[in-house]
Chains A and B, each alone.
Chain A
Amino acid sequence: MVKQSPIPLLTDGKRVDGRLPEEHRPVTMQVGVLPNANGSALVAYGNTVVLAAVYGPREPIPRYITVPDKAVVRVRYHMAPFSTDDRKNPAPTRREIEISKVVKQALEAVVFLEQYPKSTIDVFLEVLQADGSTRVTSITAASLALADAGIPMRDLVVGVSVGKINDTVIVDLNKLEDNYGDGDLPIAIAYRNNWVLLMQLDGVWKPSEVKRGLELAFKAAENIYRNMREALKGRYMAVVQQ
C-alpha cells in the first residue's frame, strides 16, 4: 500500500513549509560548544538539530581495534528519545547502526588517518531534534567538529539531502517530505574537491532526475560550506587577533 501524505506536499510549485523546490532551510552552526570534547559542533538545518562531539586522537580501547599504521575512526549516530514526536527507544536501531557506518566511511575519506597510527578518533552524533535529513545534518556537524578538534583533513564535508515529489526534485527534505515523498537521495560532498563521499538512493529515479538532484545538491552545498567556514573562523578569530 502506498503511503499517503496527510497534506499535499507540493502546491503551485511550493512545498508544505512554503519553500521552493531548490530552497534549503535556514542553516545555523556553532563550533566549540562542549568544553570537555576535543572538538564539537551544533548544527541545525531548520528544525533538525544535531550535536557532534569529537574525542581524540586517543588510545584505542579496546586495544584489539588498533591498526598499526593508521587511526581508526569510530562514529556513533544516535537519536535522542525526545527527538521525535513519539518517544524513540534509546537502544541503537538497525537504521542508526547503518547511518553510523556510512557517516564513518564518508569521514574516513577526508581525514589523514596515517598521521595518527595506533590511535582512535571517536565521533559522537546526537540528534536532539529530528525533522528530516538527520544523516546529512550529522555529516556536516561531524565534519565541523573534526575541524574544530584540529584533526588534519583534506576538506570539509557538507551533507545535503535531495528528494522527489512526483516528478519534482527538491532539496533538503523535512519530515513530511522524508516520510511521504517519492524518493530520497542523501549526498555528502567534499566541497572544494568536488568529491561525492556518500550517495544513497531510495525510490525510483530517472537518470535525468539523479543528475538534477546532484546539481541542486552541489548548489546547496556552496552555501552550507560558506556557513561552515564562517562558523570556524568566527569562533577562532579572537584567538588569532591576540
Chain B
Amino acid sequence: MQEPSVSRALVTPGEELGVEEEYLPGDNAYVDSGYVKSMVLGIAEWDRVNHVVNVKPLKLSLIRPGQIVYGKVYYFPSDKVAMVRIFAVQQQDGVRRIQAETGILYVTYASEERLGTIYDAVGLGDLIKARVLSSKPPYHISLRGPSLGVVETKCPQCRAVIVPSSTSGKITCPVCGFVFRRKAAPS
C-alpha cells in the first residue's frame, strides 16, 4: 500500500517537526539550529511530496486581510473618512463576535463609484459589512463588492430602522418616504 503524501499530528509551540535538510518551514513553522519547529499549538501537516511542513493553528486570534467583518460606524474625523468599530468576523461556520477593533473606511474604498463625501456611502450608527485590507490595527476596510456595504441603517429624518434590500445607491424610507444615499448591501 502506498504511504499517504501528507501526515498530520497535534503539536505544541517549540516542538521539533523535522530537520532543515528534509523539510522547509511553511505556515507557523520556523527554523532554529537546523530544526524546523512549530510556532503555535496546532495540527502539523508534513507534505512529503513538496517537503514542506505547515502548522494549522487551532485558534485564529487576529483579523486577517481579505476577511469579511461586521462593524458600526461611530465617528467621522472628516468628510472623507469613517471610523468603524469592528465587532464580528465572518467565518466558515457563521459569524463570530470578537473583541472590538478599530476600522478605517476611506471614501475611495466606500463604493465602486466615485463619491464626493463619505456621507454618500455610510451614516453615523450604520451597521456595515466590509472586507479587511490591512494586516494590523487600526484595520483599513473596504465596501467595494456586490455583497458589501450597509446592512442596517436608520432614516435620517424619522429614525426608522431600515434593512436595505437592493444594491442601488439610494434608499427610500418606508415610513416617511425620505430618500437618502448609502452604499447598501442586500440582506
Contacts and interface: CB of A to CB of B under 8 A. Distances in A.
Interface string A204-242: 000000000000000000000000110011001101100
A149 B13 CA distance: 11
Interface residues of B, number: 29
Contact of A232 (B39, B41, B60): B41
B136 interface: yes
Nearest to B10: A240
Contacts of B28: 152
A58 interface: yes
B61 A38 contact: yes
A112 B12 contact: no
A182 interface: no
Given A150-B40, A150-B60, A237 B10 contact: yes
Contacts, number: 88
B136 A233 contact: no
Interface in B56-75: 57-62
A180 interface: no
A25 B3 CA distance: 45
A57 B61 contact: yes
Contacts of A156: 12-14
A101 interface: no
Interface residues of A, number: 35
Contact of A59 (B15, B30, B101): B101
Interface in A180-199: 190-193
B101 A155 contact: no
Given A55-B99, A119-B136, A150 B58 contact: yes
B10 A38 contact: no
B75 to A, nearest CB: 14
Given A55-B99, A58-B99, A153 B136 contact: no
Query: Which 7 residue pairs of A and B lie closest in terms of their CB atoms, listed nearest first?
Result: A150-B59, A155-B14, A152-B39, A153-B13, A59-B137, A192-B14, A118-B136
Interface of B: 8, 10, 12-16, 28, 30, 32, 37, 39-43, 57-62, 99-102, 136-138
Interface of A: 38-39, 55-59, 110, 112, 116-119, 147-156, 190-193, 228-229, 232-233, 236-237, 239-240
